[in-house]
Structure 1
């Protein structure tokens, strides 16, 4: 069974259930505005949640003991909100998902990997300020860009 999260719509305030994996992109049940799509994934559900996503996925490979990971997390969640409907944010704890960390040859955390249909589009290691992360996404995925 796929996990769900509850997300409040930024437009109308309605609370919506958003699945970790779906064929389409999440929209508000009331006003149909695109909702931010965030999920956690481990080794077992990585393919379902990340590789089968209909939109690009920003994978945050992190660890709970990592200070820079905790610092960058709010910026990543903000990017998921501002780019709702254009990208999905998936957080992978490298301590509990060692096969995924090994697959992507993670040497340092946080490591961010942008995947599209399971293919690596871009990668960066280390924390960065919110503006730098936004600019990086604009550069590596020009079609996504910040919404108008």
Structure 2
């Protein structure tokens, strides 16, 4: 018997069910027909953050960043590499703290970049500061188990 998981579409915010065993088959949204598990980080905003975090059964790793932040810019390629390598195991998302100050305040973001991991809508881990790709991937693999 296949177990189903819920995934929020990063394109249209539609809620989808997919057999967990078929995540490597690149499932598509039943509503907009776009890929549910992109191999790159998705942008989240105040308007779609809660639904995306609360309704996704896969862990969601969120990078809180800002365009003016040098370490954020340096870590962006490593974060994208982690999203590609861990595709189907976690969803990687980015929140621009300048465009979404209420989210920064809600999660008490004191320094950037800050990585927060959510499982079933709850924050389960937090890491502040930039990391190289290898360290970021290793950290992500530990927290998404």
TM over 0.5: yes
Q: Contact 2:41/2:79 (CA < 8 Å) preserved in 1?
A: no
> Match for residue 90 of structure 1?
93
2:16 to 6, 17, 23: 23
1:70 to 63, 73, 84: 73
SS state at 2:47 partner: coil
TM-score (norm 1): 0.73
> Match for residue 4 of structure 2?
none
TM superposition shift of 1:20: 5.6
> Match for residue 32 of structure 2?
none
1:129 equivalenced with 2:122 (yes/no):
no
- Pairwise CA RMSD of aligned residues? 2.4
TM superposition shift of 1:53: 1.4
Structure 2 unmatched ranges of 5 or more: 1-8, 29-34
Deviations 1:100-125 (A, max 9, x none): 10111000010000101111111001
More helix by share: 2
Q: Contact 1:58/1:87 (CA < 8 Å) preserved in 2?
A: yes
SS state at 1:58 partner: strand
Q: Contact 2:62/2:94 (CA < 8 Å) preserved in 1?
A: yes
Give the alignment of 1:32-111 within 5 angstroms.
35-36=38-39, 38-111=41-114
Change (3 A) 1:3 1:80: closer
